């Protein structure tokens, strides 16, 4: 198997927003980067709402122009039915930055990748899981590629594999899940609407949201605990369609469109934290470091902030920079969990229901066991 003679400064495992944003930022910092992208990829993830804070985070990475395409649809507001029978409209134009979007995740991913490649990152298609060997600062990855296989040498390994946290776990880290929230997502065509507001609504055994996308598409998602989901694709489809039809905000938007069909996808949506999320010669980023409940609409923003802070720590290189990053991550997760518990706690109408009881029982400050690396990351 051939091996690159000059090791990459960084090899990133993953193919999502975190992977490509990190590759782009690392190239801008002068590091050589290889991105190992899984083939075939399961397709773009769900999660379209990019609030003003997310757009600012993208700008801070030098990627503002990326959003200037009609593929992404302006989102002027969030309309929610939560905690009471009257819909509440939150105008996003009033928030700092004032602009929010419903992004087409496939387009965002493709455009981010193109920027990273143009900046000099190398994409390497990957089959199966790579095996790592060597030692921090002098890693070798044995990878299977569509053309055979090769060894890749890299100083730093970056885990951008989302909730799988595949590399972090291979390094001995643990993933702590705090619930079993699971989404069933339906992508609907031919659902025109003039109002681009994000719709959110609580139901007796979960909650749902819908985001109107460009080209008259709509994504509608019902979320509940995994134990509530029936077995089998057909039963699950009927279950999700039934819950979305119960929604006062979303059902009327789906009326003209087809019922949720075979493109319906089951997606993990629970809160989790990886501990530690960094160690000697490796670091997890984005959802691989911590993943949020979609209620926060903050996964992309958090991933982009994390990418910036991570690349800053890497270019700083001192152990203290990584300790600070680990502390910041733990604080971010604790703050997120507090806010999440408060938001779920505002819904009191479905009192005996297990879904809501479990969330009300979640107490502030359960930040998981985000560990701090004992040695510097940069070997
Ligand atoms: C239902 C739902 C709704 C959401 N809504 C929003 C929203 O409105 N706004 C928002 O900001 N966020 C939202 N999110 C969260 C957001 O989608 C994620 O935070 C974001 O996708 C994280 O990006 P990532 O690159 O870290 O991980 P991912 O997007 O999960 O990417 C991980 C990549 O790693 C690849 N991979 C996995 N395992 C391996 C492996 N072993 N080897 C190689 N590659 C691997 C995967 O194929 C994938 O390409 C939502 C999430 C869900 C589930």
Instruction: Compute, in angstroms, the gap from residue 47 CA to the centroid of ligand 1.
Output: 8
Residue having the nearest C-alpha atom to atom 30 of ligand 1: 162
Angle at CA of residue 231, ends 226 and 235, nearest 5°: 110
pLDDT of residue 5: 57
Per-residue confidence at 338, pLDDT binned at 50, 70, 90?
A: very high
Indicate if 254 and 207 belong to the same structural domain. yes
Question: Please, are residues 300 and 17 in contact by the beta-carbon 8 Å criterion?
Answer: yes
Indicate if 349 and 371 belong to the same structural domain. yes
Instruction: Compute, in angstroms, the gap from residue 107 CA to the centroid of ligand 1.
Output: 14
Q: What is the pLDDT of residues 247-273, one digit of tens each?
A: 999 999 986 554 545 568 999 999 999
Burial of 48 (0-12, 13-18, 19+ CB in 10 A): buried
Q: Do the strands 282-284 and 148-159 form a parallel or antiparallel pair, or are they unpaired?
A: parallel
Enter the tokens of residue 364. Answer: 């502030």
d(CA 194, CA 181): 31
pLDDT of residue 148: 85
C-alpha atoms less than 13 angstroms from C-alpha of 247 in its C-beta half-sphere = 31
What residues line ligand 1, using a CB cutoff of 6 Å? 13-19, 38, 41-42, 45-49, 54, 126, 129, 160-162, 164, 166, 183, 185, 221, 267, 269, 286-287, 294, 297-301, 303
Question: Please, are residues 325 and 373 in contact by the beta-carbon 8 Å criterion?
Answer: no
Indicate if 110 and 98 belong to the same structural domain. no
What's the rounded mean pLDDT across residues 211-238?
93
What's the rounded mean pLDDT across residues 15-42?
94
* 109 torsion bin: left (phi>0), alpha (psi -120 to 50), beta (else): alpha
Q: Which numbered atom of ligand 1 lies nearest the CA of 268?
A: 53
CB neighbour list of residue 255: distance below 8 Å, 6 or more residues apart: none
113, 123, 159, 161: residue to mutate for ligand 1 pocket, most atoms within 8 A of CB: 161
Indicate if 282 and 145 belong to the same structural domain. yes
Q: Where are the beta strands (DSSP E) in 110-237?
A: 122-135, 138-145, 148-159, 174-177, 181-188, 198-203, 206-213, 217-225
Question: Hey, how many other C-beta atoms are within 10 angstroms of the C-beta on 251?
Answer: 16
Indicate if 234 and 353 belong to the same structural domain. no
**Domain limits for position 352:** 1-47+105-178+272-379
pLDDT of residue 3: 55
Q: Which residue has the tokens 């079993």?
A: 180
Indicate if 8 and 128 belong to the same structural domain. yes
Residue having the nearest C-alpha atom to atom 47 of ligand 1: 41
Please report, for the domain that includes residue 217, its CATH number.
Answer: 3.30.9.100
Residue having the nearest C-alpha atom to atom 12 of ligand 1: 299
What is the chain's length? 379
Residue having the nearest C-alpha atom to atom 8 of ligand 1: 49
Residue having the nearest C-alpha atom to atom 39 of ligand 1: 161
Question: Please, are residues 6 and 94 in contact by the beta-carbon 8 Å criterion?
Answer: no
Please report, for the domain that includes residue 171, its CATH number.
Answer: 3.50.50.60
**370 pLDDT more than 50:** no
Of 236, 269, 302, which one is at a domain's C-terminal end? 269
Instruction: Compute, in angstroms, the gap from residue 5 CA to the centroid of ligand 1.
Output: 32
Per-residue confidence at 4, pLDDT binned at 50, 70, 90?
A: low
What's the rounded mean pLDDT across residues 45-72?
94
Instruction: Compute, in angstroms, the gap from residue 45 CA to the centroid of ligand 1.
Output: 5
What's the rounded mean pLDDT across residues 366-375?
39
Indicate if 5 and 125 belong to the same structural domain. yes
Average pLDDT, the chain: 90
CB neighbour list of residue 31: distance below 8 Å, 6 or more residues apart: 9, 10, 314, 315
Instruction: Compute, in angstroms, the gap from residue 161 CA to the centroid of ligand 1.
Output: 8
pLDDT of residue 1: 47
Q: Which of 338, 356, 355 lies closest to 347, judged by CA?
A: 356
45, 55, 58, 268: residue to mutate for ligand 1 pocket, most atoms within 8 A of CB: 45
Q: What is the pLDDT of residues 313-329, one digit of tens each?
A: 999 999 999 999 999 99
Instruction: Compute, in angstroms, the gap from residue 16 CA to the centroid of ligand 1.
Output: 6
- Looking at per-residue pLDDT, the higher value among 345 and 128 belongs to 345
pLDDT of residue 41: 77
What's the rounded mean pLDDT across residues 66-72?
96
pLDDT of residue 149: 86
d(CA 373, CA 241): 45
Query: What's the Cα-to-Cα distance from 338 to each of 27, 275, 327, rounded to whole Å?
Result: 36, 19, 17
pLDDT of residue 363: 55
Question: Please, are residues 140 and 133 in contact by the beta-carbon 8 Å criterion?
Answer: yes
- Looking at per-residue pLDDT, the higher value among 4 and 299 belongs to 299
**209 pLDDT more than 90:** yes
300, 301, 332: residue to mutate for ligand 1 pocket, most atoms within 8 A of CB: 300
Least confident piece of the model among 129-138, 218-227, 355-364: 355-364
Instruction: Compute, in angstroms, the gap from residue 68 CA to the centroid of ligand 1.
Output: 22
What's the rounded mean pLDDT across residues 153-159?
97
Instruction: Compute, in angstroms, the gap from residue 337 CA to the centroid of ligand 1.
Output: 19
d(CA 159, CA 34): 12
Indicate if 193 and 324 belong to the same structural domain. no
Indicate if 163 and 184 belong to the same structural domain. no
φ, ψ (nearest 5 deg) of residue 154: -150, 150
pLDDT of residue 117: 98
Instruction: Compute, in angstroms, the gap from residue 160 CA to the centroid of ligand 1.
Output: 9
Indicate if 349 and 367 belong to the same structural domain. yes
Indicate if 213 and 249 belong to the same structural domain. yes
pLDDT of residue 56: 94
Of 269, 304, 325, which one is at a domain's C-terminal end? 269
Of 212, 234, 269, which one is at a domain's C-terminal end? 269
Question: Please, are residues 271 and 295 in contact by the beta-carbon 8 Å criterion?
Answer: no
C-alpha atoms less than 13 angstroms from C-alpha of 112 in its C-beta half-sphere = 25
Indicate if 325 and 367 belong to the same structural domain. yes
Instruction: Compute, in angstroms, the gap from residue 185 CA to the centroid of ligand 1.
Output: 14
Domain count, the chain: 2
What's the rounded mean pLDDT across residues 362-370?
46
d(CA 43, CA 65): 24
First vs last Cα of the chain: how many Å apart? 25
CB neighbour list of residue 45: distance below 8 Å, 6 or more residues apart: 16, 105, 162, 267
C-alpha atoms less than 13 angstroms from C-alpha of 344 in its C-beta half-sphere = 28
């Amino acid at each position: 198997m051939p091996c690159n003679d000059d090791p990459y400064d960084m090899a990133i495992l993953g193919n999502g927003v975190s992977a490509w944003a990190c590759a782009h930022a690392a190239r801008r910092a002068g590091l050589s980067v290889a991105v190992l992208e899984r083939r075939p990829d399961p397709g773009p993830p769900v999660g379209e709402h990019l609030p003003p804070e997310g757009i600012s985070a993208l700008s801070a990475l030098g990627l503002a122009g990326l959003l200037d395409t009609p593929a992404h649809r302006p989102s002027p507001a969030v309309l929610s039915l939560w905690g009471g029978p009257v819909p509440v409209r939150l105008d996003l134009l009033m928030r700092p930055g004032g602009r929010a979007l419903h992004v087409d995740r496939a387009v965002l991913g493709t455009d981010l990748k193109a920027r990273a490649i143009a900046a000099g990152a190398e994409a390497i298609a990957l089959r199966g899981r790579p095996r790592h060997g060597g030692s921090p600062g002098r890693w070798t990855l044995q990878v299977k590629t569509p053309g055979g296989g090769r060894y890749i040498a890299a100083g730093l390994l970056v885990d951008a594999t989302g909730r799988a946290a595949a590399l972090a776990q291979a390094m001995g880290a643990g993933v702590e899940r705090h619930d079993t929230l699971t989404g069933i997502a339906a992508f609907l065509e031919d659902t025109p609407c003039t109002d681009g507001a994000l719709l959110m609504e609580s139901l007796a055994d979960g909650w749902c949201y819908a985001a109107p996308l460009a080209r008259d598409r709509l994504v509608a998602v019902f979320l509940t605990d995994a134990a509530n989901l029936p077995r089998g694709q057909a039963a699950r489809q009927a279950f999700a369609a039934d819950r979305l039809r119960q929604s006062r905000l979303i059902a009327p938007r789906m009326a003209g469109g087809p019922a949720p069909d075979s493109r319906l996808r089951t997606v993990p949506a629970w809160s989790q934290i990886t501990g530690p999320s960094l160690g000697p010669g490796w670091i997890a980023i984005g959802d691989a470091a911590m993943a949020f409940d979609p209620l926060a609409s903050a996964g992309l923003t958090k991933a982009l902030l994390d990418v910036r802070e991570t690349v800053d720590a890497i270019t700083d290189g001192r152990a203290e920079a990584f300790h600070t990053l680990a502390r910041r991550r733990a604080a971010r997760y604790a703050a997120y969990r507090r806010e999440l518990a408060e938001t779920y706690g505002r819904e009191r109408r479905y009192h005996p229901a297990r879904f809501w009881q479990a969330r009300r029982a979640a107490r502030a400050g359960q930040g998981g066991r985000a560990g701090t690396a004992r040695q510097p990351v940069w070997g």
